[in-house]
Amino acid sequence: MASLTFLGAVEGVTGSMHLLKTEHSTLLLDCGLYQGRRDEEAKNHKPLPVDVSQLDAVILSHAHLDHSGRLPILLREGYSGPIYMTRPTVDLIEVLLKDAASLQERDAEWENKRRQRSGKPLIEPLYRQEEVDGVMKLCIPTRYHTKRKITQDVEINFADAGHILGSAIVEIFITENGQTKKLVFSGDLGNSQAALLRDPDIVTDADIVLLESTYGDRNHRSMKDTLDEFEEVILQASENGGNILIPSFAVGRTQEIIFRLGELYQQGKLRHQKVFLDSPMAIAVTEIYHRYQDVYNEEDLDAIEDSAERAHSHNQSLHSLLPILSYTTSTEESIALNKVVSGAIIIAGSGMCNGGRIWHHLKQNLWRKQSHVVFVGFQAMGTPGRKIIDGATHIKMAGEDIVVRAQIHTLGGFSAHASQEQLIGWLSHFTKQPKVYLVHGEDGAKQELQSAIREKGWNVTIPQLNDTIRF
């Protein structure tokens, strides 16, 4: 009998990790980083809750750090087996993990200088660049819709989750005693209103479903209403002379925002603005997106192709759709943006405002009434972004108390996660009701989604951390 133990993304939306054991195999689904509050991030420094020596394989649903960010720790603890993921995910995690390692090394260096002065013992970074290099050697790229045997009694298939480039719904086939059981791990399911990527693939059969529940308690605004509000914000900023700051996640959300701004530009609605992508990581990711345009949905790909034709350009990319887009690569170029007081749309990380270049732009703009801050993604509890959208009047930034006078906007329609309605719609395609377990959501979201699914007559459970089920 197979068993599944819930080791992460159970008490919130980060730290995704689940341990699957069969008669002959031990597999890890995701190995994600805890993010958000300080007490949450402290969990990253604890030993992994798995016996690495027993692991036969790791399966990665997608590249986001809350799903991939502890892979270097897995390596450091002795893992040397295969890590299965889609080809775009291989490219993306190299960028994300190297950036994470760089930040860890930098933070440790800064902290150790302080500790040396006070005579305290030095610390090590969570992981280093060489450990990321080791992870990359273990990656096994796997195509969508291609069943693959990975151990004696387990086969996997990746379906398109439509969440970010390369994101996968993981179908796991376990054969024991001549019988095959099927576990489906949704990973993070995409928002069917989102740009560029296709809608999540339909899955019709399973015995067990692990379902994400990030937005299990709400439905998204229509994309039309979202884009109308976005257009209004841009118009207001144009009229009152303010800048627009968009804290954005480097993978997925940034590319969506660039596409939507490109649509507005092609309609002649970005008259006085200049768009800056101020994030080396997001720039690298955007270039990776350009390499995999074959996974775009047809409508948006056509829009990009048409814009390139009109411009007589061979560069069929987001740049042809939004030619006023500039990459800000160096620190000096980023600092120079602080002198721009109007007409700039600045897209920068981090998405939850807990670091990165957006931090400095907020410091320069948050106190100005003319400024606009547009949140386009989920803001975890305890993060500066969450504090701002919850109505904070002051934000502590680098020891300085900054008053919040900017106009704050939350555009939920840009979410890369499926809404409650979309999650239930995806479940509805199963021909025989599987047992459903809700993960990757805050308590309120999971409880409301559980109630909504139960109204349909389904068997749905909210597991606790370290719970084990057998099937």
- Specify whether 83 is located in the same domain as 228: no
Nearest one of 229, 183, 246, 167 to 417, comparing CA atoms: 167
Domain termination residue (choose one: 389, 414, 439): 414
- Specify whether 261 is located in the same domain as 353: yes
* pLDDT above 90: residue 23: yes
Burial tier of 471 (Cβ tally within 10 Å: 0-12, 13-18, 19+): middle
pLDDT in tens, 375-398: 988 787 788 999 999 999 999 887
* Token couple for 418: 């499926």
- Specify whether 318 is located in the same domain as 445: no
- Specify whether 403 is located in the same domain as 277: yes
> Between residues 338 and 208, which one has the greater pLDDT?
208
Q: Where are the alpha helices (DSSP H) in 184-297?
A: 223-240, 253-266, 280-291
The beta-strand segments (E) located in 136-178 are 139-141, 148-151, 154-160, 168-176
Q: What is the largest CA-CA distance in the chain?
A: 70
Burial tier of 88 (Cβ tally within 10 Å: 0-12, 13-18, 19+): buried
- Specify whether 74 is located in the same domain as 149: yes
- Specify whether 332 is located in the same domain as 430: no
> Between residues 219 and 39, which one has the greater pLDDT?
219
Q: Domain with 75 in it: what CATH number?
A: 3.60.15.10
pLDDT in tens, 250-303: 999 999 999 999 999 999 988 778 999 999 999 999 999 999 999 999 999 999
In this structure, the number of other CB atoms found within 10 A of the CB of residue 392 comes to: 15
- Specify whether 447 is located in the same domain as 336: no
Q: Domain with 326 in it: what CATH number?
A: 3.40.50.10890
pLDDT (mean) for 400-413: 91
Please give the pLDDT value at position 69. Answer: 98
* Token couple for 137: 């050697």
Pairing state between β 83-85 and 139-141:
parallel
- Specify whether 388 is located in the same domain as 298: yes
Nearest one of 132, 129, 174 to 156, comparing CA atoms: 174
Please give the pLDDT value at position 352. Answer: 86
Please give the pLDDT value at position 239. Answer: 85
Q: Which helix (H) or strand (E) holds 423?
A: helix 420-427
Q: How far apart are CA 88 and CA 70, in angstroms?
A: 19
- Specify whether 389 is located in the same domain as 255: yes
pLDDT in tens, 99-124: 999 999 999 999 999 999 999 999 99
- When divided into structural domains, the chain yields a total of 2
Domain termination residue (choose one: 394, 414, 434): 414
Please give the pLDDT value at position 377. Answer: 81
Domain range for residue 21? Answer: 3-218+416-470
Q: Which helix (H) or strand (E) holds 22?
A: none
Please give the pLDDT value at position 159. Answer: 98
- Specify whether 169 is located in the same domain as 298: no
Q: How far apart are CA 89 and CA 139, in angstroms?
A: 9
- Specify whether 179 is located in the same domain as 302: no
Please give the pLDDT value at position 356. Answer: 87
- Specify whether 135 is located in the same domain as 262: no
